[in-house]
Amino acid sequence: MLSKAKIKLIQSLELKKKRREESLFVAEGPKVVGDLLPYFTCRMLVATADWLGGHPFLQADEIIEVTNEELRKASFLKTPQEVLAVFELPSPFLPTDIAQETLCIALDDVQDPGNLGTIIRIADWFGIKHILCSVGTTDAFSPKTVQATMGAIARVRVHYVDLPQYLSSVRSRTPEVPIYGTFLEGGNIYKESLSVNGIVVMGNEGNGIGWQVAKHVTQKLLIPSYPEGSTGSESLNVAIATAITCSEFRRR
């Protein structure tokens, strides 16, 4: 039975403070839960009889069979999707000098959970394993963001750092590592030379990359609009811009 205390715990995990206190987060739906089960420790799995019947070899500390109505009481979704799981948050671990070896994304105060979730999916698609987030970026383990990742958060590590300080450290320790950023005054991304490693900084939805971060960027890039000189949208959605940028880096 899904007790009131367990429902209260699940609902409390909508708040970042509670997620940090409990070291737990919530995922919902067959796709997302199925992708996360091999990667994260599952503290509690709440599911309908039909879903459990199709998954006989589950590993979870506690498995609770519920009706659709009981699941609805715990779910964050308008239409619950058969299964909800409470997972342990991963331990923070940021490898040293990852930008020397591979391409990373950095996010400067990205606020929208849907945008962050989509960016995590994009990173997963393009084989980017690490995302560096400023402390002002929305939490990757909020229920909305986790759902938006569609399971990609299982394969992409998201790190929260003092981004200006981190980039300053990268430039001091490894000045040969390029730090890219997207700017309206940048060079045309389709004509600039791009490397297979480094850090690509994407900015806030309304303000772009802040000056504290911008001063550490070593190469500014622009995604040009077409036709050149025409009047169109003022800017691209940050997730769309990230997809275009990652695609061009991988194309090279």
Over residues 173-197, the pLDDT tens digits come to: 999 999 999 998 999 999 999 999 9
At residue 57, the pLDDT reads 85
State the average pLDDT for the chain: 94
| pLDDT tens-digit readout, 101-142 | 899 999 999 999 999 999 999 999 999 999 999 999 999 999
Instruction: Collect all residues with Cβ–Cβ distance below 8 Å to 114 and sequence separation of at least 6.
Output: 144, 145, 148, 239
At residue 231, the pLDDT reads 66
| pLDDT tens-digit readout, 149-167 | 999 999 999 999 999 999 9
CB 15, CB 144: distance < 8 Å: no
Q: Judge whether residue 96 has pLDDT over 80.
A: no
Residues 122, 164: Cα–Cα separation, whole Å: 24
At residue 229, the pLDDT reads 66
Between 233 and 10, the more confident residue is 10
Q: Judge whether residue 234 has pLDDT over 90.
A: no
